[in-house]
């Protein structure tokens, strides 16, 4: 029987510091994708999001007449044969011995992905935390939107994050919590956690991580 891969699945809100988190993971040897979304002025060091993963999440949302900022009031996105086929194809194409996936939309599509990811991977869940008001301000600033509109967009994501972190029953030993502010100010603990999971010394690539994390690029 083929040994399962090791997957670090990031669960996060938009504008929560997940790009910094994913960038650190990539530095530490977690393969975030062969083709990543390019850097922008709001994410100058990159998003570290697999282009195909994001496109497929967008397609899943579109199948229920939704977009990332206009979400349905759904408990679960229904499976279709076409979507399941595309999910399996994506996983088989993109899985690596140690890999990661990041896209805030995953908080909405997670339960559709979960059984198929579990077939091939031992999943570690990386929850990225940032004060909700800070994510709201950052989204409003990026999209030149009002605070109220950004709040409405992000509230369903916050509810999903809380649900999966506290009520869904994920194995505690498979959960990694990281605070955006902590990873900027003192990344040693997170670096040590990822390195421990991957069999590396606690300070493996710590200096490279500190060089990567530029507080001046924090976008509010």
pLDDT digits (tens, 9 = 90+) for 148-164: 999 999 999 999 999 99
pLDDT over 70 for what percent of the chain? Answer: 95
Q: Buried b vs exposed e over 132-142: b needs ≥16 C-beta within 10 Å?
A: bebbbbbbbeb
Question: How confident is the model over 67-99, as pLDDT tens digits?
Answer: 999 987 777 788 999 999 999 999 999 999 999
Its pTM stands at: 0.95
CB 74 within 8 A of CB 80: no
> Predicted confidence band at 39 (pLDDT cuts at 50, 70, 90)?
confident
| pLDDT of 217 strictly over 80 | no
Specify which residues 212 forms β-bridges with: none
Exposed / middle / buried, residue 170 (Cβ in 10 Å: 0-12, 13-18, 19+) = middle
CB 110 within 8 A of CB 16: no
Residues 58-65 have a mean pLDDT of 94
Kindly report the average pLDDT of the chain as a whole number: 93
| pLDDT of 113 strictly over 60 | yes
71's CB contacts (< 8 A; 6+ apart) are: 61, 108, 156
Question: Which domains are assigned to the chain?
Answer: 5-211 (3.40.50.300)
Question: How confident is the model over 117-176, as pLDDT tens digits?
Answer: 999 999 999 999 999 999 999 999 999 999 999 999 999 999 999 999 999 999 999 999
């Amino acid at each position: 029987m083929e040994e399962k891969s090791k997957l670090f699945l990031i669960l996060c809100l938009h504008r929560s510091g997940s790009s910094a988190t994913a960038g650190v993971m990539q530095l530490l040897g977690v393969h975030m994708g062969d083709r990543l979304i390019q850097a922008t002025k709001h994410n100058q060091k990159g998003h570290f999001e697999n282009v195909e993963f994001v496109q497929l999440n967008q397609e899943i949302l579109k199948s229920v007449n939704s977009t990332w900022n206009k979400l349905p009031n759904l408990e679960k996105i229904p499976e279709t044969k076409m979507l399941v086929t595309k999910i399996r194809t994506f996983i088989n194409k993109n899985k690596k011995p140690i890999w990661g996936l990041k896209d805030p939309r995953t908080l909405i599509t997670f339960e559709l992905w979960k059984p198929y990811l579990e077939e091939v991977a031992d999943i570690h869940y990386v929850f990225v935390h940032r004060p909700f008001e800070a994510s709201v301000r950052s989204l409003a600033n990026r999209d030149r939107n009002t605070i109220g509109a950004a709040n409405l967009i992000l509230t369903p994501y916050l509810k999903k994050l809380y649900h999966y972190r506290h009520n869904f029953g994920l194995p505690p030993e498979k959960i990694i919590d990281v605070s955006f502010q902590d990873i900027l100010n003192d990344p040693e603990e997170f670096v040590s956690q990822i390195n421990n999971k991957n069999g590396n010394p606690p300070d493996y690539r710590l200096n490279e991580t500190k060089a990567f994390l530029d507080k001046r690029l924090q976008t509010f």
